[in-house]
């Protein structure tokens, strides 16, 4: 963990001198002699150490009066892995800011979701990141605006509101302040844009290398719910439920980025859609740190060396995944898909998809709370588990989201009837995003353990897995990869 790395000046200087891209997003270099800030891997001439100061966020650099480097584009780096690795209030706040909560609900809404006062949230963010929630949200809006300016033919007013600005004036002022160029000048310098036909945008999602797409896209495709998800023409596609409407996304792996094609009914949902797609694909992970830890185990080393950079496939909707986890209890992948497809057909909201075969949004908890349990083709005990879950989600007594406190949410889930360790751990791993969640009772994990000579009983395997902390969720991916299950292979 590199929390507070920007305070280690000597380490930061060495990273800048070596142009080490592994540290992009962990800290930013502000150059006193030029007034710009860069990512550590910036290819420009390395500044003298006495001219470098280091900040933990792009927002802190901007707040200190520095503008973004036009060469290394520090605002386009993957997000800091810390916010997906940690469970403290700062990390949860950053996940909410990335999800657009400050733009939609303001700082009071952010604080309310976290259970703190606005003053406490502002103080903690300022102490950790050198910027408060408004400055952090502003930096995110500026980044989204630049991406839209340079990659689409949207008019500037549409860019401003899609990026989350409340007015064209504040959009113009922010772009000029952050990039030292007007929006028009940014567009003139960019390559010809593809345009945005019918609300569809084509974007590039960066990640830290290496990224192994096999288990990531293979898992999503193998477990895809008909009507909600599909694999088509080399891309994973699915529908999205968003704050202002719905959307359809297509995600395709490329050597240095993930190609993202988004169709939105309301462009104001762009920032949250991007955030959820990045979270789904675990794109802000630090694969080098993960693999270095797991490679130290001689049992895992051959699998890490063979296919490094495995990610944890996650979700765009935590409540949806919890429902699907219950549907998948003690049944095959195919049976779980069948159960989910029936719920979608009966209770999902219809959508149009001219480019493929997507037909519905996954049903909301409110829609599922009204279903007749007798209509569910599953054992009575599991019906009770599902109806209790959707009832709690619908009435708000159970909240699953990026702001969830992992230990507290685990405890609440374990209180529900029919929720045992496997269900809770798989929700923690794929919905809550806990990188250390572990599945010692999973059938595939136990088979892998026996094949590799690891302890196969849950208690003994959990004890053996202590050496893999805090990355046990990633160890799960490598253990699953020992089998020839479709989740481990990129579809053809």
Q: Return phi, psi of residue 238, to 5°.
A: -160, 165
- The H or E element containing residue 110 is helix 101-114
Mention every residue, 6+ apart, whose C-beta is less than 8 A from residue 121: 89, 93, 107, 110, 111, 114, 133
Q: What is the rounded distance in angstroms from the CA atom of residue 312 to the CA atom of residue 426?
A: 11
Confirm whether 38 is a catalytic residue.
Answer: yes
Asked if residues 28 and 58 have their Cβ atoms less than 8 Å apart, the reply is: yes
In the set 87, 317, 436, 442, the catalytic residue is 442
Nearest 5 degrees, angle CA 205-CA 468-CA 291?
Answer: 40
Asked if residues 168 and 126 have their Cβ atoms less than 8 Å apart, the reply is: no
DSSP 331: S
Angstrom distances, CA of residue 270 to CA of 170, 227, 245, 301: 18, 22, 11, 40
Mention every residue, 6+ apart, whose C-beta is less than 8 A from residue 229: 220, 221, 236, 237, 238, 239, 358
DSSP 198: G
DSSP 362: P
In the set 12, 24, 38, 291, the catalytic residue is 38
Angstrom distances, CA of residue 407 to CA of 316, 383, 410: 21, 26, 5
Mention every residue, 6+ apart, whose C-beta is less than 8 A from residue 257: 204, 205, 206, 207
Q: What is the rounded distance in angstroms from the CA atom of residue 24 to the CA atom of residue 22?
A: 6
Q: Return phi, psi of residue 360, to 5°.
A: -145, 155
SS3 (DSSP) at 77 = coil
- The H or E element containing residue 229 is strand 229-232
Confirm whether 214 is a catalytic residue.
Answer: no
DSSP 127: H
| Alpha carbon of residue 218 to chain centroid | 17
As annotated, the active-site residues are 38, 442
């Amino acid at each position: 963990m590199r929390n507070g790395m920007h305070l280690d000046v000597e380490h930061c200087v060495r990273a800048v001198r070596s142009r080490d891209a592994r540290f992009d997003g962990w800290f930013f270099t502000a150059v006193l002699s030029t007034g710009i800030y860069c990512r550590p891997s910036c290819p420009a001439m390395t500044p003298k150490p006495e001219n470098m100061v280091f900040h933990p966020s792009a927002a802190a650099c901007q707040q200190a009066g520095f503008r973004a480097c036009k060469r290394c584009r520090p605002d386009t780096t993957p997000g800091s892995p810390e916010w997906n690795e940690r469970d403290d209030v700062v990390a949860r706040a950053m996940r909410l800011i990335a999800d657009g909560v400050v733009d939609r609900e303001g700082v009071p809404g952010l604080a309310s979701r976290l259970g703190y006062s606005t003053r406490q949230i502002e103080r903690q963010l300022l102490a950790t990141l050198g910027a408060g929630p408004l400055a952090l949200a502003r930096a995110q809006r500026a980044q989204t605006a630049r991406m839209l300016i340079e990659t689409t033919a949207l008019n500037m007013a549409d860019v401003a509101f899609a990026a989350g600005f409340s007015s064209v004036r504040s959009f113009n002022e922010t772009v000029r302040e952050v990039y030292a160029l007007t929006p028009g000048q940014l567009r003139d310098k960019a390559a010809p844009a593809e345009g945005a036909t019918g609300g569809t945008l084509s974007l590039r999602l960066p990640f830290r290398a290496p990224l192994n797409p096999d288990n990531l896209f293979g898992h999503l495709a193998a477990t895809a719910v008909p009507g909600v998800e599909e694999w088509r023409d080399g891309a994973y596609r699915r529908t999205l439920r968003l704050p202002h409407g719905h959307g359809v996304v297509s995600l395709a792996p490329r050597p240095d980025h993930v190609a993202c094609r988004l169709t939105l009914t309301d462009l104001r949902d762009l920032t949250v859609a991007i955030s959820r797609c990045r979270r789904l694909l675990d794109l802000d992970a630090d694969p080098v740190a993960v693999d270095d830890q797991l490679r130290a185990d001689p049992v895992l080393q051959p699998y890490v060396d063979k296919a490094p950079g495995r990610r944890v496939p996650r979700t765009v909707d935590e409540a949806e995944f919890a429902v699907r986890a219950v549907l998948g209890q003690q049944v095959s992948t195919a049976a779980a898909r069948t159960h989910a497809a029936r719920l979608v057909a009966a209770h999902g909201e219809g959508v149009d998809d001219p480019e493929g075969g997507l037909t519905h949004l996954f049903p909301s908890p409110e829609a599922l709370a009204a279903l007749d349990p007798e209509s569910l083709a599953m054992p009575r005990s599991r019906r009770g588990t599902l109806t209790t879950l959707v009832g709690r989600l619908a009435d708000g007594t159970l909240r699953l989201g990026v702001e969830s406190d992992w230990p507290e949410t685990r405890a609440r889930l374990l209180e529900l009837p029919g929720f045992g360790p496997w269900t809770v751990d798989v929700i923690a791993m794929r919905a809550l995003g806990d990188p250390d969640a572990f599945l010692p009772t999973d059938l595939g994990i136990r088979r892998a353990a026996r094949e590799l000579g690891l302890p196969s009983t849950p208690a003994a395997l959990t004890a053996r897995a202590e050496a893999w902390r805090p990355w046990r969720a990633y160890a799960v991916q490598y253990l699953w990869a020992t089998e020839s299950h479709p989740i481990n292979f990129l579809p053809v």
